[in-house]
Amino acid sequence: MSDETSTGLREEVRARYAEAARAVLEPRPGVTAQFVEISATGSCCGGTAGDSCCGAGSAAAEAVGGFSENLYREGETDGLPEEAVLASLGCGNPLAVADLHEGERVLDLGSGGGIDVLLSARRVGPSGFAYGVDMTDDMLALARQNAAKAGATNVEFVQGQIEDLPLPDASVDVVISNCVINLSTEKPAVLAEMFRVLVPGGRIGISDVVAEDHLTAADRAAAGSYVGCIAGALSRAEYLDGLAAAGFADASVTFTTEAAPGLHSAIIRAVKPATA
């Protein structure tokens, strides 16, 4: 992909999520964050808990369902600010994947309105910490407002790109992400940055859209848009190869829900070896 195409796609993604954030920050009747995603390009990456959204609007996805059905367990989001739940645009539940423990430091790539950072902060408790990184200013404003409403003191939302993380080397125990890596136009850089910021022995627990290996890039582009989380999806083999190239061990990609033919919500796990 040329630099120009990459920059153009990134700005399209940023504009779309800025608008989705504003739909929650400045509510208008009938306009939800998910509606903004769908109306912009005919598909979207997520929906509110229990809602179905990602890929809806693309013929392929409508044939099967969405990427975002019942992401969170019953009661899991109780007590969070309503705006954090309304802005949920993921395609899985990375917390369930990451198995967080008291005292751990967690980083969420593409933290959006903050739902997974706030849930992580609860899980790791006052001795732990949860960071969110997002490139979209309106999403950061929404996430910080949600953190203040939640009274969360062990969280920080940082402006930045997931391809060039604004965190020091070996500074977190766990990296999570929910339906964001498919949106990156420089995925090897994202995988390398995850590896860099993790402590030795650290792990990733990621939800993302992943394609079956037989789908070519052209097939994926025909199935849906880039900003709708479909055209930029890696295949399972591409994910595993990319994680190995970045240095990760014990990598796995497990399909959970087929949301469009050959395109799945998936759980991605891997560890940074404890010794080099």
Smallest distance from ligand SAM to CB 130, Å? 13
Asked if residue 162 binds ligand SAM (CB under 6 A), the reply is: yes
Cβ atoms 36, 16 nearer than 8 A: yes
Asked if residue 81 binds ligand SAM (CB under 6 A), the reply is: no
Q: Using the rule CB under 6 A, give the single segment among 59-67, 88-96, 191-199, 243-251 that binds ligand SAM.
A: 88-96
Q: Which residues contact 198 (CB under 8 A, 6 or more apart)?
A: 170, 172, 173, 174, 175, 204, 272
Both tokens assigned to 183: 């949106």
CA distances (Å), origin 250, targets 142, 244, 253: 36, 9, 10
Asked if residue 88 binds ligand SAM (CB under 6 A), the reply is: yes
Smallest distance from ligand SAM to CB 262, Å? 20
User: In this structure, is the dihedral angle defined by the CA atoms of residues 108, 184, 46 and 83, taken in order, positive or negative?
Assistant: positive
Smallest distance from ligand SAM to CB 160, Å? 7
DSSP annotation of 113: T
Q: Whose Cβ is closer to ligand SAM: residue 26's or residue 214's? A: 26
Gap between the terminal Cα atoms of the chain: 32
Asked if residue 161 binds ligand SAM (CB under 6 A), the reply is: yes
Question: Binding pattern to ligand SAM, positions 196-215, x when CB under 6 A?
Answer: --------------------
Footprint of ligand SAM on this chain (CB under 6 A)? 13, 17, 45-46, 88-90, 110-113, 115-116, 134-136, 139, 161-163, 178-180, 183-184
